[in-house]
Structure 1
Amino acid sequence: MPVEPPAPSDEANIVLTGFMGTGKSTVGRLVAERLGRRFVDTDALIESRHGSIPRLFADHGEAHFRQLEREVADELAATSGAVVATGGRTMLDPANQATLGATGIVVCLAASPEALITRLRDEAGQRPLLQGDDPAGRIAALLAEREAGYARFPQVSTDGRTPEEVADAVIALATGAP
């Protein structure tokens, strides 16, 4: 069942979710700039406090990293008027959905598996969830696993669009503009 977003307002956060490589950070910065809002990237915030994500996964495991995501979501839930780019799985966690999702509209950036494979090809070694011999197969498996979770949120496709075009679509969705 889709998550009902709150009514658009200047105070509501705009939270971007979606699979890795969909452009959440790039688009989030553009949306924040255009709306004169603060931009927060949850992965960058975690890295600034705890070190690189690949190192966190290697040293402490995925469960530890997911706990750090929950802590950041709880912290950001106390803010308003921000544009927040989340990690690819952050908003699929029911706790994060409840806390951070209640602060504004959550928009899911989407891309086809082919587009994601192209975008992530050179980064597979730096993405803990894509490690191994078959990053393309891993992308397909993760997308299938997350499909229902992402479908709960309004979608903006990034395929064949510039970051500026995607930002325009996110702003229109978040502000209720035609």
Structure 2
Amino acid sequence: MAASAGRNVVLTGFMGSGKTTVGRIVAHQLGWAFLDTDALIVARHGPIHAIFTEHGEAAFRAHEREVAIEAAAGWQQVIATGGRMMLDPPNAEVLSATGRVFCLIVDAAEVYRRLQADPDGPMRPLLAGDDPATAIARLLDERADGYGQFEQVPAAGRTPAAIATDIINRLRS
């Protein structure tokens, strides 16, 4: 892995795309540390839905920026980011400076299916309302250009292990 030695690996993509699951596998296979930015925010500030409810989205985004700077300072770690974190230019800039960024790609139907199976799926603040499937499709459409700036890794219909192998092979090439 000469080209990527010492650098971080950053996973981005929409909620439910598998960033955390795939990130853990990649980190294990590389022998690197794993960091989930949302988990770090929750550990420091409480549940994400509570942050949104009590302090607003702007407060959550400020926490993301703090965590992005901290994560970028690390070395040889796999960083799973929140679904919108890398769409904030300062976050993308700081994390891209010390890591190779991969965007896990899934379609709206796959996201909806995965979130229905996730115990925390209904707690996602950006999906609150009567029609989460429509919200997912709208958000994916709004974020398409932002996600498009990163190296794309198809995630739909593939196992987390297959996605992790794909990422590791890309790192080695």
TM-score range with shorter-chain normalisation? over 0.9
The answer for unaligned runs of 5 or more in structure 2 is: none
Please, what TM-score do these two structures have when normalized by structure 1? Answer: 0.92
Within 1, Cα distance between the matches of 2:172 and 2:58? 35
Q: CA deviation at 1:127?
A: 0.4
Residue 128 of structure 2 aligns with which residue?
A: 131
Q: Paired residue for 2:25?
A: 30
Give the CA deviation at 1:69.
Answer: 0.2
1:110-149 to structure 2, matched below 5 A, reads 110-122=105-117, 123-149=120-146
Q: How do 1:27-176 residues align onto structure 2 when only pairs under 5 Å count?
A: 27-122=22-117, 123-176=120-173
Q: 2:156 and 2:87 mapped to 1: Cα distance?
A: 22
Runs of 4+ displaced beyond 4 Å:
none
Structure with greater proportional helix content? 2
Count of residues in correspondence between the two structures: 170
Deviations 1:8-56 (A, max 9, x none): 3220100000000000000000000000000000000000001010111
Residues 120-171 of structure 1, C-alpha deviation per residue, up to 9 Å, x if partnerless?
1254421000000000000000000000000001111111111100100111
Alpha-carbon RMSD: 1.1
Secondary structure of the equivalent of 2:97? Answer: helix
Query: For residues 79-127 of structure 1, what are the alpha-carbon distances to aligned partners after superposition, in whole Å with 9 as ceiling and x for unaligned?
Result: 1111000000000100001111111100000111111111112544210
Percent identity, please: 54
